[in-house]
Chains A and B, each alone.
Chain A
Amino acid sequence: GQNIDQPTEMTATEGAIVQINCTYQTSGFNGLFWYQQHAGEAPTFLSYNVLDGLEEKGRFSSFLSRSKGYSYLLLKELQMKDSASYLCAVREPNDYKLSFGAGTTVTVRA
């Protein structure tokens, strides 16, 4: 099984940077995903890490350390539209089962 932990809430100011941490304890690992979910909408894919290191995609970056069971999502130059829940999810190796954390609600203030 998977145990995935992330903070419940974070607040930041427009234009700032926020880092959302995710730690996991799993019986297997085949990649870590970050999804964004606006209130009342379905999750949308943000990033995927399977090897250690940083993946950058515009204002969003995601980091993975497999030995530490740790990932973070970095949101730069925050905009009001970035206010959403951010979900960390870990995939198991054999059957591609994807397990989610409870999500981190990010509120961006002017």
Chain B
Amino acid sequence: EAGVAQSPRYKIIEKRQSVAFWCNPISGHATLYWYQQILGQGPKLLIQFQNNGVVDDSQLPKDRFSAERLKGVDSTLKIQPAKLEDSAVYLCASSRASSGNTIYFGEGSWLTVV
């Protein structure tokens, strides 16, 4: 089956600009995650969706980050305005909505803010 798709793979923007990342999960996966991974650290959960509802967004910096999953399939993560510390890899992952199911990651969107 096709994996988790993300785009763009790489993006360089200046601080205070905006950027959007897109994710298409594995077909049939109800749960979708966005993680931020700063170089040398483990992934940090930003937001988790169950179908089109938000399960957890406690670590999402809501003053500048937003995410949506309107039809319960694709998702978009937006940053506006970007800061230098937002430079990271943004990983999208998905899983079936039940215990014991593996979480699969996309290849990530690499953001550099200059």
Q: Does B21 contact A (CB under 8 A)?
A: no
Report which of A93, A98, A103 forms a contact with B45, defined as CB distance below 8 A: A98
Q: Does A50 contact B (CB under 8 A)?
A: yes
Contact between chains at A50 and B44 (CB < 8 Å): no
Determine the interface band of chain B, counting residues with CB < 8 A from chain A.
Answer: 20 to 34
We find that the number of chain A residues with CB closer than 8 angstroms to chain B is 25
Tell me the residues in window 44-64 of chain B with beta carbons closer than 8 Å to chain A beta carbons: 44-45, 48, 50, 55-56
A-B contacts counted at CB < 8 A amount to: 59
Contact between chains at A99 and B105 (CB < 8 Å): no
Which residues in B have their C-beta under 8 angstroms from that of A100? 35, 42-44
Contact between chains at B107 and A41 (CB < 8 Å): yes
| Smallest CB separation, A97 vs chain B (Å) | 5
Q: Does B97 contact A (CB under 8 A)?
A: yes
Contact between chains at A43 and B41 (CB < 8 Å): no
Q: Does A102 contact B (CB under 8 A)?
A: yes
Which residues in A have their C-beta under 8 angstroms from that of B105? 35, 42-44
| Smallest CB separation, A82 vs chain B (Å) | 19
Contact between chains at B99 and A96 (CB < 8 Å): yes
Produce 1/0 per residue, A6-41, CB < 8 A to B: 000000000000000000000000110101000001
Q: Rank and list the top 6 A-B pairs by shortest CB-CB distance, nearest first.
A: A100-B42, A42-B105, A102-B42, A95-B55, A103-B42, A100-B43
Beyond contacts A44-B105, A97-B56, A100-B43: 5 other A-B pairs, Cβ-Cβ < 8 A, are: A42-B107, A96-B95, A98-B103, A100-B42, A102-B42
